[in-house]
Amino acid sequence: MLIAELINSCSNERVAHAALVSIGPAFANDVEHVAEARGLSAEAYAAEQVRSFAARVGEDGWRRLSDAMSGEDMPLLRGFRHIVECAMRRDAPSVVASPGRVAASPPCPPCGCENRV
């Protein structure tokens, strides 16, 4: 299952780093900004958010992650981004709501993020 692969692989900081680079510098910079405020590297913050995702969400959160990944050319990267954006919206809403950053939208009730699928 792709979600299990996402959780298993992107929980590793080296894989999280590669995912951040693959998604692009704007997203990586946003993650770095949030991570630095917590005394972490971007890849450590992202990997931790992937590892802790299961504890933060219920069944509907898993469904939203699955929906976000469904039909994507790069589903693992899309799922990784969904998880990290969830965490960033929770941890630093001012970062993700700033102009040119992750678009703000109504919160996602199951996981508290603002990722609507």
- Quick: pLDDT tens for 52-109: 998 888 888 889 999 999 999 999 999 999 999 989 988 876 665 554 554 444 455 4
d(CA 41, CA 32): 7
Q: Token pair for residue 73?
A: 């050319």
Summary mean pLDDT of the chain = 84
Is 107 part of a structural domain of the chain?
no
* 70, two tokens: 């469904």
Q: What is the pLDDT of residue 103?
A: 44
How many structural domains does the chain have? 1
Domain assignment of residue 116, yes or no: no
Q: Is residue 89 part of a domain?
A: yes
Q: Is the pLDDT of residue 51 over 90?
A: yes
Asked if the structure places residue 115 within a domain, the reply is no
Structural domain range at position 68? 2-96
